[in-house]
Amino acid sequence: MQTLPELFEKNRLWSHSVREKDPDFFKNLEAQQTPKYLWIGCSDSRVPANQITGLVPGEIFVHRNIANVVVQTDLNLLSVLQYAVDHLKVEHVIICGHYGCGGVAAAVDGNRHGLVDNWLRHITNMARRREDELSELTESERINRLCELNVEAQAQNLSRTTVIGDAWERGQSIHIHSWIYSLADGMLNSLAEPISKPLEE
Ligand code: CO
């Protein structure tokens, strides 16, 4: 029994159109993947890594979670990161947040949402630490500024992971990028210079 026939139909059309342009596309990809980039982004359905960067399958390794958070004890993220850095030898790790992030908003709205409150707790804590700056802003400006601060904080967290630290230690070139995406116009923006070496503590 085939469920969700509309998705299989879209898949059939997509596969067909790719092979029409390049008959060997899937055969070549099947042999190996050599992405240059690791994307760490939000799970939000409106922020799909491949489409917004115009990259095809095989070009970007992807990890997504609610509010693009980098937690030092998250074995899921660390496993993805280690595989990408140690085996795939990606040179660029992109932390990409987005304006209007529901996860970031949930972290500071004072309501209970379930398990995700635990996941978002350190964004809540960061907002408290930056209260002076944030309290000057309107509600939507505040969320959007927090989305930016969150990206920068996660890029710094990432630079302090053992995986990235070890890679830099052995001389591997890795650049951590802090990007934010606008749902309003589909544009990416860079928030800071890439981090390419250990931060001063
Ligand atoms: Co989000």
CATH code (residue 121): 3.40.1050.10
Query: Domain range spanning residue 15?
Result: 1-31
| pLDDT, average across residues 20-43 | 94
Q: 133-153: buried (b, 16+ CB within 10 Å) or exposed (e) per residue? A: ebeeeeeeebbbbbbbbbbbb
| Catalytic (active site) residue 117 | no
How many angstroms separate the CA atoms of 158 and 97, rounded?
14
Give 106 Cα–ligand 1 centroid separation in angstroms.
Answer: 10
Give 105 Cα–ligand 1 centroid separation in angstroms.
Answer: 9
| 49 contacts: CB under 8 Å, gap ≥ 6 | 39, 41, 55, 60, 62, 64, 96
Distance of alpha carbon 25 from its chain centroid, rounded?
26
69 and 166 co-located in one domain:
yes
pTM: 0.95
Q: Give me the pLDDT at residue 68, please.
A: 98
pLDDT score of 16 more than 90: yes
65 and 156 co-located in one domain:
yes
| Catalytic (active site) residue 44 | yes
| Catalytic (active site) residue 87 | no
12 and 70 co-located in one domain:
no
How many angstroms separate the CA atoms of 201 and 189, rounded?
27
The one catalytic residue in 12, 19, 46, 113 is: 46
